[in-house]
Structure 1
Amino acid sequence: MRIPAARLPHWLKTIASEVYLYWRFTRYDISATVIPGMLFMLAAWHSAQPDWHALPGLVVWGMIYFWLYCTTFCLSNQLAGEAEDRLNKPDRPLPSGLVSRRGTWIRWFGTMILFTLVGWWLGVVEWTLLWQVTLTLHNLGGFARHYWLKNLAMMLGVIAQLAAAWQMVRPLTPEAYTWLILAALTAFANISIQDLRDIDGDRLNNRRTLPIVFGTNFTRGFVAVAFVLSALLTHFALFVPFGLNVGALLLDLVLAGLCLVIAGRVLLFRTTAADHVSYMLYTYWYCFVLAAAIVVL
């Protein structure tokens, strides 16, 4: 029998409301944070002698760690961009009135402390601190206002994410460094795709993103070329050196096809909604790259 919400214990209602609130803060960023981290963690587990008994614990701790990785960024990002969100994303918790700024600050400080403790417990505190410094500079220190600092921050974020994912399972190897460095380099160029969907909000916040500084036509051309080059880089740097078996070849073709689809969409479909879809496809491509590491490494 279903218990009416009004009859639920107060503590249970509080937990349910907090879960819902955090979901509202993070729901658009899970495919770029939690899922990639978990996939590369599984690649590290699979590349050694897979210990099936250790896997459930790794999955639980990985979910906790990368949820904190995501949440610490989203809370501070939305605190800094509340005015922009009132224009572009009024359904987010702050502009919709679901939570106060004071409440969001308290939650951010709390999750930052918890993130540090979990990173220390898992033996990846150096990568945790790198991400905390990077996200603070990006969201609250002005890095997000200039295109190359913003892209640099995202590149460092990828390094912190993937290095922690691997190291919480086993020490970093040359193969792991190859994978995470290439992912970081492609992120430095490809991440500008998200700026195409937020131009009005970026102008409101006096940001100097790539489309605002160089124009949308240049940015679309730059991003399209970057995705074509990403297809070539992943093929020659990630797949060819480790051998092209049937599974790796299929993944290689899927990733190349997705890069070409994104490049074509960026050039041909020029609405905010279309740019959002293109950005989400980029996050899926990123996830597929890391899923391929499970097969290849």
Structure 2
Amino acid sequence: MEGPLSVVTKPRVLNLASRKYTISLTEVKRGIDTVRSCGIRSSDGRAFTQRLPVPARAQVSYVPSAPCKWRSSCFRELGLDISELSATSTMKPTEEEEEEKNTMSLLAVSHGSFAENITCSPSEDMSEVADEEAQSILYSVVTKILELMAREIYLSYKFVSYDLTATVLPGALISIVSHIKLNCVLGSNIKSAPLWRSLFCSTTWTWLFIYVFTPANQTQSARNGGEDSTNKPSRPIPLKLVTINRAFWRLGFVCTTFVLYGMYLGSGLLSTAWVACALILNFIDASLNSLHWLIEPIVMMVGIVVINMVNISIVAPSFINYPTLIFMAAIAKALGLFGSSIQDHRDVEGDRLSGGRVTLPILLGNMPSRLVTNILLLCCWATLHASLAYLNRPFNAATSFVILVWCLLLCFRTWTLQSPSEDHKTYSLFVYLYSFVNIAYYWAV
């Protein structure tokens, strides 16, 4: 059969071992289009040459393509006489019987390569092809793993982004303060971990700490009416980044990882206690939802104890002494038990949609609950003042005064600035008070 080279999905099989063909400019361009339509890159010319049977390799040439005019030197480089070029050329398709005799080859016209004759043994040919396939599979697997890891990190950030300043920041601060206090104030009598290790372990553990809580809270919220769609619409479930069932699977995985990591850090019991508290708070029976205003502060108090004690033990387990326990208990009672209700004022509308959850503003009403919150903030200062006075360190009186001014500012904002956005700013200011008292651990104990 005679005729021009046609564009097909698969490169045409030709008998190149029997004779040479005069290739026209039109067919060269058409062949390049054929190769491109098959998804063959210009850098693949060598690989395709090595796939050819040895008798056919000497007949194969590669012609460079370019959008500009074709030069005669390109054809002379291929051993073709420019005067013999015609609009068509005679090409005899290979029969199926000849394919079985291994005398056929693939006509591959590739962009960016001049004529070259490459010979290698069939074993080398097969080994190089196998290596290329193995590298391609490895690259694909590594790419998929990296994409999965990047997506999970992004999802974890979306789950915990609202709570990083309330957990990761104060946890990292008390870890740094403990390390500085241990090495600069007490000397090297107590063995401690390097600062970089302490900070890394503190950050990763505290990240998992809040990651245990947020999927449980957000899945329960989505099942009970979609509170987050009103209060926090940028979370992953309202954004449809993850389904409720997938969030449950992540919750189980994160809880297991968190406990195992806590055991590695020597705080497995405290880590397990926090998992239990998070599950109790978020998956309690509907009959106990009316006590949410009381259960939540208790859980937050336990959470503050766990964060502070674990982060101190990461630096040096033997650093936990009686004065430290006194101050950490005061922080947990003041900020967890007396101060946690301040966040409920910003989430009233969403809490009404949560399926029976009763917070302090819903239980008492707007103004009475704000009055109670201010009284609790003064109790927060009184608790911290009592512990600072008991420890009787040089700067404790000044620290107590700063905390008093801070709490009075919170009371003023809670009473006068009554809107969800302003209540959120007030809560953020309260969160920074937690970070301040953790820093005060440096000189207060």
| Partner of residue 284, structure 1 | 432
| Partner of residue 98, structure 1 | 241
| Partner of residue 170, structure 1 | 317
TM-superposed deviation, 1:270: 0.7
Verify: 1:220 aligned to 2:370, yes or no.
yes
CA deviation string 1:22-72 (max 9, x = no partner): 111111101111122222333443245466762221111111111110111
Structure 1 length as normaliser, TM-score? 0.89
Q: Is the 8 A contact 1:40 1:290 kept in 2?
A: yes
| Partner of residue 305, structure 2 | 159
Q: If each structure's helix is expressed as a fraction of its own residues, which one has the higher value?
A: 1
Distance 1:213 1:290 in 2: 32
TM-superposed deviation, 1:240: 6.2
| Partner of residue 284, structure 2 | 141
Structure 1 vs Structure 2 CA RMSD: 2.2
Q: Which runs of 5+ in 2 are unaligned?
A: 1-141
CA deviation string 1:223-274 (max 9, x = no partner): 11222332333234226623233xx565444333221111100000111111
- Equivalent positions of 1:35-74 (< 5 A) are 35-45=169-179, 46-47=181-182, 48-49=186-187, 54-74=194-214
- Equivalent positions of 1:1-297 (< 5 A) are 9-45=143-179, 46-47=181-182, 48-49=186-187, 54-82=194-222, 83-142=226-285, 146-168=292-314, 169-171=316-318, 172-186=320-334, 187-205=336-354, 206-238=356-388, 241-245=391-395, 251-297=399-445
Q: Is the 8 A contact 1:166 1:176 kept in 2?
A: no
Q: Which runs of 5+ in 1 are unaligned?
A: 1-7
Structure 2 length as normaliser, TM-score? 0.61
| Partner of residue 4, structure 1 | none
Identity rate, percent: 26
The higher radius of gyration belongs to 2
Bigger drift between 149-158 and 51-60 goes to 51-60
Q: Is the 8 A contact 1:42 1:294 kept in 2?
A: no
Distance 1:182 1:251 in 2: 14
Q: Is the 8 A contact 2:293 2:359 kept in 1?
A: yes
CA deviation string 1:190-209 (max 9, x = no partner): 10111111112212221111
Bigger drift between 95-104 and 52-61 goes to 52-61
Counterpart residue identity of residue 204, structure 1: L
The 1:227/1:11 distance shift into structure 2, 3 A limit, reads: same
Q: Is the 8 A contact 1:144 1:150 kept in 2?
A: no
Give aligned pairs, total: 288
Q: Is the 8 A contact 1:138 1:144 kept in 2?
A: no
CA deviation string 1:144-192 (max 9, x = no partner): 6521112111112222222222233223311121112111211212101
Bigger drift between 164-173 and 117-126 goes to 164-173
Counterpart residue identity of residue 159, structure 1: V
The 1:239/1:138 distance shift into structure 2, 3 A limit, reads: same
Counterpart residue identity of residue 258, structure 1: W
Distance 2:389 2:192 in 1: 26
Distance 2:398 2:331 in 1: 19
Counterpart residue identity of residue 153, structure 1: V
